[in-house]
Amino acid sequence: MTSDFKEAGDPIVLVGTTRAELGGSEYLRLRKAGGGAVPTVDPSSLRVSLDHLRSAIENGTVAACHDLSHGGLAIAAAEMCLGGDLGADLKTTAMDPMRWDVQLFSESNGRWLVEVRKDRYEEFGHLMEGIPATYLGTGRGRMKRSDIRAGIVYIEGTNCEEESVAFFRHLGAQAEKVHLKQLTGDVPPTMKRTLDDFDLLMIPGGFAAGDYVRAGAIFAARLRSRLSKELTEFVQAGKPLFGVCNGFQVLVEAGLLPALGGTMTETPEAVLATNDSGHYECRPSYLRLENSGSCAFTRTLERGQVVTFISAHAEGKLLFPKERQAKVLKDLAENDQIVFRFVDGHGRPGSYPWNPSGTTDGLAALSNREGNVFGVQPHPERCFFRHLHPDWTRAKAEQPLYGDGKAIFDGALEYVERKF
């Protein structure tokens, strides 16, 4: 049992009785004031409350619990929010007509702030029968999904932007297809956009600018020349940015991945080279999640889980400078920046065709150190629905609506909901 809030929407309950006991409190100390009743303890009542609360915890109805001591209710709630990276919508009207400062800062003993699992709230009430328990509100993310604004950035040669917009909208977010020229201001005023207009950015796949020079190089150069400062600020603010296939190539060319030397390095630290087969590869690929939870986009998946995405690239072989490759791979592993590796049908490392490009160490997806910039070579959006998977006609008649790719879109939106 930990004290950090776990889930938006869970009921938050104050267990125990609040009294006008501000004597010796942090609140009065900070106000340089004296007086007030000092908290007292009733050992027999405390024992009964603890027995009931321990029973509720052991029965799995409690998601988080924090004692109320220094600073009272206000500080306990703040610490639970900070620990869980969640907000809370709390109202103390049930404690009226007690003064507001007593409600928030009393340090009465024998009290706990409890997050109850939403599907077991009634059971919690039965387990706590006879013990003072005041419903205060619910945990919540700082942003509603319907308020999240996703920008799908494209130029000539990009593909899958329409599907990506549709899938974000399908999941309840606002989404807009945004040409790079709208962000650089090379359009009529009514069409202009800025990065501040968006909470999440995606660079989809395709063959941007014909993939001349190298895959993604021209798109990346245009980004760097006009939007380096804005992109750096976007990433440093913790906002999520991800690239798929050609978008991954763009992020690498722009110095945004793997970003071992900073948020956006002056020169690329890697390159996505021509596949070992020497030609375009289009096939379903198995990817095993290697990340331990730092990547914002994959937190709805479990480490070791194998998913199916669609490879569709001619230049997917991730390479690093030969003299630094061993060090880079070590740093990526230690920083938890390796997100997915290509595997065979049994979840084990494999060569061609399981690894369709011959990419170094089977790497299929990377994140930056902070986990809010993510690039994946195969396409998750092409497996958003189960009927988009290549084997759907051979699957059981009753199969889920969604495919493996939905997890990436869900993960990005859930991250924004929790963080902002």
Same domain? For 239 and 97 the reply is no
Tell me whether residue 373 is in a domain. yes
pLDDT in tens, 270-290: 999 999 999 999 999 999 999
- Side-chain-side CA neighbours of 217 within 13 Å: the count stands at 13
245 carries an active-site annotation: yes
Confidence (pLDDT) at 34: 84
Tell me whether residue 1 is in a domain. no
**Is the separation of the CB atoms in 38 and 23 below 8 Å?**
yes
How high is the mean pLDDT of the chain?
A: 94
Q: What is the CATH number of the domain that holds 75?
A: 3.90.650.10
Same domain? For 74 and 45 the reply is yes
Same domain? For 91 and 151 the reply is no
Same domain? For 118 and 151 the reply is no
Same domain? For 149 and 134 the reply is no
pTM of the model: 0.72
State both tokens at 123: 């059971």
pLDDT average, residue stretch 134-156: 92
Confidence (pLDDT) at 393: 85
pLDDT band at 268 (very low <50, low <70, confident <90, very high): very high
Confidence (pLDDT) at 60: 94
381 carries an active-site annotation: yes
Say if residue 202's pLDDT is above 90.
yes
Phi, psi of 41 (to 5 degrees): -130, 135
pLDDT in tens, 231-253: 999 999 999 999 999 999 999 99
Q: Measured on CA atoms in the order 243, 246, 251, 254, is the torsion positive or negative? A: negative
Tell me whether residue 31 is in a domain. yes
pLDDT in tens, 211-222: 999 999 999 999
Confidence (pLDDT) at 410: 96
Confidence (pLDDT) at 391: 86
Q: Which residues contact 335 (CB under 8 A, 6 or more apart)?
A: 260, 369
Of the residues 81, 113, 140, the one at which a domain ends: 140
- Which of 253, 381, 414, 417 is catalytic? The answer is 381
Confidence (pLDDT) at 420: 79
Confidence (pLDDT) at 140: 78
Confidence (pLDDT) at 56: 96
Tell me whether residue 76 is in a domain. yes
Q: Domains in the chain: how many in total?
A: 2
**Is the separation of the CB atoms in 121 and 128 below 8 Å?**
no
pLDDT in tens, 21-68: 999 999 999 998 888 899 999 999 999 999 999 999 999 999 999 999
Same domain? For 106 and 167 the reply is no
- What whole-number percentage of the chain has pLDDT above 70? 100
Tell me whether residue 377 is in a domain. yes
Closest CA relative to residue 135, chosen from 104, 98, 92, 96: 92
Confidence (pLDDT) at 85: 81
Same domain? For 214 and 326 the reply is yes
Same domain? For 180 and 280 the reply is yes
Of the residues 140, 163, 186, the one at which a domain ends: 140
Closest CA relative to residue 412, chosen from 380, 378, 386: 380
Say if residue 1's pLDDT is above 90.
no
Confidence (pLDDT) at 245: 97
Tell me whether residue 153 is in a domain. yes
Say if residue 418's pLDDT is above 90.
no
Same domain? For 153 and 250 the reply is yes
- Which of 379, 383, 389, 417 is catalytic? The answer is 379
Beta bridge partner(s), residue 207: none
- Domain of residue 214, residue span: 145-419
Closest CA relative to residue 359, chosen from 381, 343, 379: 343
Same domain? For 154 and 85 the reply is no
Tell me whether residue 95 is in a domain. yes
Say if residue 104's pLDDT is above 90.
yes
Tell me whether residue 3 is in a domain. no
Of the residues 91, 108, 140, the one at which a domain ends: 140
Confidence (pLDDT) at 8: 81
DSSP summary character for residue 350: -
Q: Which residues of 346-361 are buried (b: 16+ CB within 10 A; e: fewer)?
A: eeeebeeebbbbbbbb
pLDDT in tens, 370-407: 999 999 999 999 999 999 988 888 877 788 899 999 99
Confidence (pLDDT) at 398: 81
- Which of 81, 160, 245, 383 is catalytic? The answer is 245
Say if residue 172's pLDDT is above 90.
yes
Phi, psi of 392 (to 5 degrees): -65, -30
Q: Which helix (H) or strand (E) holds 339?
A: strand 338-343
Q: What is the CATH number of the domain that holds 409?
A: 3.40.50.880
7 carries an active-site annotation: no
Same domain? For 166 and 246 the reply is yes
Same domain? For 118 and 161 the reply is no
Q: Please tell me the distance from the alpha carbon of residue 175 to that of residue 193, in angstroms, as a whole number.
A: 13
Say if residue 93's pLDDT is above 90.
no
- Return the number of other C-beta atoms located less than 10 Å from residue 285's C-beta: 24
